[in-house]
Structure 1
Amino acid sequence: MCAHAPPHLGFGRCRFRCPGGRASGSSISTSTRPIVNILFISWTRIGDAVLSTGVLSELIRRHPDAKITVVCGPLAATLFANVPGLTRVISLPKRLLNLHWLSLWLQVVGQSWGLVVDLRRSLTAYTVLAKQRRILGRTDQTQHRVAWLPSIIGLAAPLNPHLWISDSQHARAAEILPEDARTLVIAPIAARPEKTWSAENFANLVSTVRAPGAPCEGWRVLLVAGPGEETQFQALIKVVPAEALVLLTGHPDLLVVAAVLARATLYIGNDSGLTHIAAAVDVPTLALFGPTNPQHYGPWSPHARVVDAPLVDGVRSIAELSVGTVVTRVREMMGSQNS
């Protein structure tokens, strides 16, 4: 347990997500010889892509004049739009029979690369011309992903996620969410049903923490969701007065969303890409986990905490996570901020 971790509170596993631990893997050269171009093959999903940005940021620090090509999934593509030295973001939607890898190979094989960094262990990294290749080894399930990922470039220390947000994106965020009130962000979406706390639970949570004398009394509420998903959360929308509710649904630019989240006071959400974005911009983040292991995949920030569901018959079901448990954690988080 890290030095900043709070004592166990008796309701499942509740952890302060502190950047710590060491990466696995053998040591490799950290030469700073100039590299002309870098092919960085990241992950498909938003959360995974966010966690990979620390490695990319370190590569840019080492090779500030290199031209960067990033490969990622379509949903994560806008995260990399402002990467310094960016030449191209290759958005790689999955195809039947893994034909997306053939598509990628055809797009990059005609170029000689100074460095290929592949987090996906694809054949592409082995079959293109490259002076150096760094290919991620076997996943270490005993450590957080941010802790072992830097081993791919010869580092043992974690590399914190980093998002490149422009002034214009911050300006757009200020239009969406002026900093004239304390704001509670609720992100009730997740990629899978088993990772999704119910809308009714979120509604009860918001009602409780915004009540008189509660830690978020009278706060503005920002509801973040995907295109059209607000229709799934009418129970949540109904408990917030219209003048205190801001909806941010289906915004096409994840960096604008990140800039909006950075303006908030507290973020509460499921195990999702948005939760990793919130942690990356250092907003106090409370992540609700069901079956996923937060020791390996939790949000990475000194300002993030995790509450995961209790163990029932060997399974952690998000449906078993009570509103009272989450309210208790909110009180603790806000108390620590005010102390």
Structure 2
Amino acid sequence: MASFNLTPSDSSTFTLTGIPGLEAAHIWISIPFTMFYIIGLLGNFTLLFVVSKEQTLHKPMYLLLCLLAVTEIGTSTSIMPKALCIFWFQLKGITVGGCLTQMFFLHAGTVMHSAVLVTMAFDRYVAICNPLRYTTILTNARIAKLGLVGLIRAVLCILPLPLLLSRQPFCANRIIPHAYCDHMAVAKLSCGDITVNRMYGLVIAFVVNGSDLTLIALSYSLIIRAVLRISSKKAHQKALNTCTAHICVMLMSYPSFFFSTLTHRFGQGIAPHIHIILANLYFLLPTMFNPIIYGVKNKQLREKVGKYTCRMYSPGGH
């Protein structure tokens, strides 16, 4: 049987191992990964389709959901097709250019995802603390501008990562013990000094996400203060209910991001296969669950999705 494994001496390529130590179980591991990926794509594309078709959903909150969906489709798609090629066909080779491109889209998508979550927190703050001015403060045009600012920030922050690595000399060992080209996994293969790469990656991870988390915490502290001033218990519940979905999405995103970032640098005691499985799930689970969370929590969106689903499956439906 022909081997697709590339030899480490091939100077134009890297070799991704998939999940080290679990190569024999790659096919079995690929089954849940494929399911999560397909469900995530279906959920996010359904959300994009329904919002684009329904004029009543052309509002800031739903545009933010679309931004989140596009970001999650992008980040999961930047890693999963290649990972599945490794799991199914042992196609482990990836060119240096392909590796650096994957790294850029992957990490830029993560920074963009964080920017969308900050904008969503601001949206909830205005909706609860300043409802009468909501439509004038948060217009569709303003959401589009905030999305563009988030995209520019992601590109400017992440572009130096592949550029710095492209200048590094790489050793004879070009095997990346990972299923995708994570920045630190690739940097560790260099024969040169990677102090700048290591520090820049850590600073970006903590400054960008740290500042985003600070802004989110500020939004929620103002929301809680406003809610506590309301005397009606029913109004309390209604106000907090509007934030539940956003809080769930954040709880899935940020802890796993910091875990993945820290274990790559300081987690020598953690088994590589555990770290890599969790790193893959970090991109797959939010992509799968976020459309479900928002679909369950948002009555208007749920009804519109139901309407299109019924049309699709009804006899003669278009």
* More helix, by proportion: 2
Which TM-score tier does this pair reach, normalised by the shorter chain?
under 0.3
Structure with the greater alpha carbon radius of gyration? 2
TM-score, L = length of structure 1: 0.26
Higher relative contact order (CA 8 A, sep 6+): 2
TM-score between the two structures when normalised by the length of structure 2: 0.27
